[in-house]
Structure 1
């Protein structure tokens, strides 16, 4: 017979009430294993020891509550400064979702439509040409610029179906040469918005607009559309309409004096550091050249979490509404079904593209866990994020490590989803 049955009832009850109930951690209450979350620390330590990166910051939130937020390793290439949680990172292409949101804010206000030709706002781009293949009598294939037969629209800018590309990923060698010669990415000089679109208009497209996903300068052009429609410089518009309202105090197009000591640097041994770091110059006056809507901001893990959580919440955070829920649903839908091209270089297989975000199409086909409809993107400097509406989940990974960026973003997703228990 159990001992409590031999005790007076009142005494037995008092003993039972004195036994503390098993307390679950906040992470466990939200469906995460505390022990499994500790694996992230071990994995980051291994990568730092291997020389993958100097350090990293990782953040995971569910139901709007942060369940994991840690910093590892070092801030600087020399590995002398511990990585702080509020480290500042070059966002590179994680700037693109900001500009996509800015454009959709103007759509909601009736100032812009996805159906609008880009030339409505940038007349310089009215008569674009496209590279066309020709085969001569000997069977040799050549390409020449011919007038484009399709009109580039604002929709094309948002989903990267303009036919614009990047020099590093240009599908044809003559196009790569043309991009570098014209310095379209403003790597060697400071192109004004006017000079940028002038040179871009004189450069052939890789493909007819509206036919193929081709990652490139589309969002940089979209940033100029936002400027011309709103009457504000892109950096000012985003500061006034997005960053300040969401409390993103460390997200800007120019590094502020108080951020300098917190700026994360890549290892000097990283082969892609020199070119990429030169391209996004954080000390650049944003009024001097076009605002690099596709790459030009700096941010922190916590700031980017606030932006991602706003999208997960259907366009609202802490009582501040940025977009309507229907607009967010529209943005986080696949807009590239049936078109050529692939997002796999950034997302891995199994993803299409919405308006500013890569969108997972189905359960299978991908190389990391996730959910149909999860949204993600990443930066060439080593940063990435995931928004999973089905799981009410946000994950942010920040590192200054351009060369191994695909490895680290997939590693983090495996660790994040692997720590979930429900």
Structure 2
């Protein structure tokens, strides 16, 4: 019996015309249709999405509306509360100072923050001494023993974070006073033993201010924001830009309470400390400049911000063997580096990606990732805090479903 061989031909020019830097343009159109469905369901009023691969922007779109009432169309230059997407910027700035010899990762933070020299650790038998000092590396990877007050498992620690305004949730507090207050609250874990999402990068920002004798705003402006041309990335929204601020839907049950903590329509400098973990606002194009620089190994437009090996070091796992998990933020299959969660393998994760991929997100609904293997970076900016996990996972799935070459 003879069989006729099956001929498998190469895609014709009509196929190639619809593929740009490996992305199928028809498949990318699914992304917009899916986001429009989310908007119609009231998950968020609108979104801005952006994808870069091989130094080319292959997708940059705005969907839905900027305002909760659904009257102002979303624009590509709409401004979003970046929330915890502030953390990677502050951590990168800190690593730039490490490269300049200003401090070492293993330095105790009390070298600059003496208010924290008497910290203890809460334990069943009572508060106990630290087994070793908190280091700057601990701040960058959330292993210092600090927590977020509203997530703290200890009722005592949760109460103290709230009463002493550690996170400036509803009351302004200057950095020196915040550190004095923090120095009276026990840690939840021994330093370097447990990963727990925390105020660590807020503390890192205050440490950078002590090291440089400048405000965190000045430090970031000099090191990253102005050199990268991030013209709309700020700590507050001036009146002339307020009309570009994206809103969460009024129906979102988290919105009203969260707005109390994000008082970003007046200048915080001199009024309250700049929250290195959550204080910035910005646009998709601005943040993509930062991501593009990281994807290129620390260089952009002929300017070197970090060495290639430092970027690799930051985007490697720094929490192996420790307790705790990033799953509530990333889904399973991730560890943590310096400022970024790091994908450890393929099979444990909820969505496609590449081992070594680095990412983070913000509580309002912002998210990004860096896929070094595919030379790809993507972000989504929305303002829908209740459904943020669903939104970021959906978007990531849709992006990879369009990557065909």
TM-score by shorter chain over 0.5: yes
Match of 2:58 in 1: 67
Match of 2:94 in 1: 103
- Residue of 262, 277, 297 corresponding to 2:259: 277
What are structure 2's unaligned runs of at least 5 residues?
A: 1-11
Alignment of 1:57 onto 2:52: no
Deviation at 1:23, TM superposition (A): 8.0
- Residue of 62, 84, 98 corresponding to 2:75: 84
Quote the Cα distance in structure 2 between the aligned partners of 1:217 and 1:200: 10
Match of 1:230 in 2: 212
Q: Write out aligned runs for 1:354-373 (5 A).
A: 354-373=337-356
8 Å contact kept, 1:251–1:303: yes
Deviation at 1:95, TM superposition (A): 0.1
Deviation at 1:342, TM superposition (A): 0.6
Q: Which is worse superposed, 216-225 or 316-325?
A: 316-325
8 Å contact kept, 1:336–1:353: yes
Q: Write out aligned runs for 1:318-397 (5 A).
A: 318-397=301-380
Match of 2:384 in 1: 401
Alignment of 1:168 onto 2:159: no
Quote the Cα distance in structure 1 between the aligned partners of 2:302 and 2:216: 24
Name the TM-score, length of structure 2 as normaliser: 0.95
Alignment of 1:43 onto 2:34: yes
Deviation at 1:275, TM superposition (A): 1.9
After superposition, what is the alpha-carbon deviation per residue over 1:282-323, rounded to whole angstroms, capped at 9, x for unaligned?
123231211000000001111111111110101111112111
Q: Write out aligned runs for 1:77-156 (5 A).
A: 77-134=68-125, 144-156=126-138
8 Å contact kept, 1:157–1:218: yes
Quote the Cα distance in structure 1 between the aligned partners of 2:128 and 2:184: 12
Deviation at 1:156, TM superposition (A): 0.2
Q: Which is worse superposed, 316-325 or 327-336?
A: 316-325
Quote the Cα distance in structure 1 between the aligned partners of 2:181 and 2:284: 35
- Residue of 25, 33, 36 corresponding to 2:24: 33
8 Å contact kept, 1:166–1:217: yes
Q: Per the alignment, in what secondary structure is the counterpart of residue 151 of structure 2?
A: coil
Q: Which is worse superposed, 87-96 or 321-330?
A: 321-330
Quote the Cα distance in structure 2 between the aligned partners of 1:24 and 1:232: 52
Q: Per the alignment, in what secondary structure is the counterpart of residue 130 of structure 1?
A: coil
Quote the Cα distance in structure 1 between the aligned partners of 2:175 and 2:13: 63
Q: Per the alignment, in what secondary structure is the counterpart of residue 128 of structure 2?
A: strand
Q: Per the alignment, in what secondary structure is the counterpart of residue 219 of structure 1?
A: helix
Q: Write out aligned runs for 1:165-244 (5 A).
A: 165-244=147-226
- Residue of 282, 292, 306 corresponding to 1:299: 282
Q: How many residues align?
A: 393
8 Å contact kept, 1:58–1:68: yes
Match of 1:11 in 2: none
Quote the Cα distance in structure 2 between the aligned partners of 1:382 and 1:312: 22
Q: Per the alignment, in what secondary structure is the counterpart of residue 290 of structure 2?
A: helix
After superposition, what is the alpha-carbon deviation per residue over 1:142-165, rounded to whole angstroms, capped at 9, x for unaligned?
xx3232222100010000000000
What are structure 1's unaligned runs of at least 5 residues?
A: 1-19, 135-143
CA pair 110-52 structure 1, distance change in 2 beyond 3 A: same
8 Å contact kept, 1:348–1:366: yes
Quote the Cα distance in structure 2 between the aligned partners of 1:258 and 1:242: 24
8 Å contact kept, 2:238–2:266: no
Larger radius of gyration: 1
Quote the Cα distance in structure 2 between the aligned partners of 1:340 and 1:283: 39
Quote the Cα distance in structure 1 between the aligned partners of 2:161 and 2:361: 23
Name the TM-score, length of structure 1 as normaliser: 0.91
